[in-house]
A and B are shown apart, each in its own frame.
Chain A
């Protein structure tokens, strides 16, 4: 799970940005760019779209910097904005034509996965994420790949802790089924 020290450092960065230090914002982007894109790719299966949505999330921070009240971690806040923007995008553009799907998406995603996934269990789950439904996929990504607490994952997904626990439980069961289909017994 996320260390408190990192959260404090992020908050400090954001306070510096509010106080007018634009370089601090650059550092925030640098810290979360890849994670945010990787997360948005759970919703939109296209690198360039995921990048656009991640950029929009950062623009939201620039435009409404005082909306962030430090009641949750900056990471949780950013991921919440990105998730909302991804869902809004999907809603407006229900179907994506084949031409719009970036052919490099899979390679980009694998590249990000290699850089961002550190432990074996997360790597295993990542292999079957695409085969799970949206909520399951999102919950597992936040908890196991982003290492968010259940509470923080709940904030991102707009659910309470118990609901996230249930979602993760069911998602893991669904993932287990997927592994079993491949003959992998966990």
Chain B
């Protein structure tokens, strides 16, 4: 193990390195603001290739920030951007965001360590469910979703029943009508955007349940409405 002094020196070294990265980033972003939208996209690509900035999260967050900054700049300028320019920007942004993880998710990492933990936990849970040959269903062709719980689950044609360790029924998810989903002792679900979809992450007696919505027709409002429509039975 490091000595106390080595540990502390390491903290300050990392801090200095982070400050330096931020200075570079600020400089880059200020340059972006003076250029046209298309040129900005090129700079974003250039920033992404800077070896020092090898952290995917910050990298994508940077693209996100640069995009937001430039878009704002475009709209606040006297010249209204053409539809084509905005469309082009949106396409570029989408391509950049696809790099490894979505820019939104990365921005969450960079901006707020609290939120990302929930997303990370949600993703872990979904990954575990997938690994365990968990559930992946198509819901009337609208969107797909994963349901995960650490409790036992029995899958029927139209529903999944969740049982506690002692076999008691604790929740039922109706696949064609998520409004029928109910469980006991839940906290209010939180909707997080990531990986081209939305995670609805909520807890049931200390166990996480994650619903992941993705597909052509997903909208944040739709994810939120699904979250809102989940019925919670008070304990």
Which residue numbers of A lie inside 8 Å of B, CB to CB? 26, 29-30, 33, 37, 47, 51, 54-56, 58-60, 62-63, 80-81, 83-85, 87-88, 90-92, 94, 104, 108, 111, 133, 135, 158-160, 162-164, 166-167, 170
B114 in the interface, Cβ–Cβ < 8 Å?
Answer: yes
Question: Closest chain B residue to A155 by CB distance?
Answer: B114
Enumerate 25 A-B pairs (CB-CB under 8 Å) in ascending A order.
Answer: A29-B4, A33-B7, A51-B2, A51-B10, A54-B7, A55-B10, A55-B14, A59-B15, A63-B19, A80-B113, A84-B120, A88-B57, A88-B120, A90-B124, A91-B123, A111-B1, A158-B121, A159-B187, A159-B203, A162-B185, A163-B187, A163-B203, A163-B206, A164-B206, A170-B206
When chains A and B are docked, how far (Å) is the Cα of A59 from the Cα of B55? 16
**Interface of B toward A, CB cutoff 8 Å:** 1-2, 4, 7-8, 10-11, 14-15, 18-19, 56-57, 109, 113-114, 116-118, 120-121, 123-124, 127, 150, 185, 187, 203, 205-206, 235
Closest-CB distance, A32 to chain B (whole angstroms): 11
A-side contacts of B127, CB under 8 Å: 94
Query: Measured between C-beta atoms, what is the minimum distance from A177 to chain B in Å?
Result: 12
Say yes or no: B7 contacts A51, CB within 8 Å. yes
When the two chains form their complex, are residues A88 and B124 in contact, meaning their CB atoms are under 8 A apart? no
What is the total of A-B residue contacts with beta carbons within 8 Å? 85
Chain B nearest Cβ from A136, distance in angstroms: 9
| Chain A proximity of B96: nearest CB distance (Å) | 19
Bound state CA distance, A94 and B123, in angstroms?
Answer: 12
Contacts of B116 in A (CB 8 A): 84, 88
The answer to whether A62 and B11 touch (CB under 8 A), given A87-B120, A158-B121, A167-B206, is: yes
Closest to B117 in A: A84
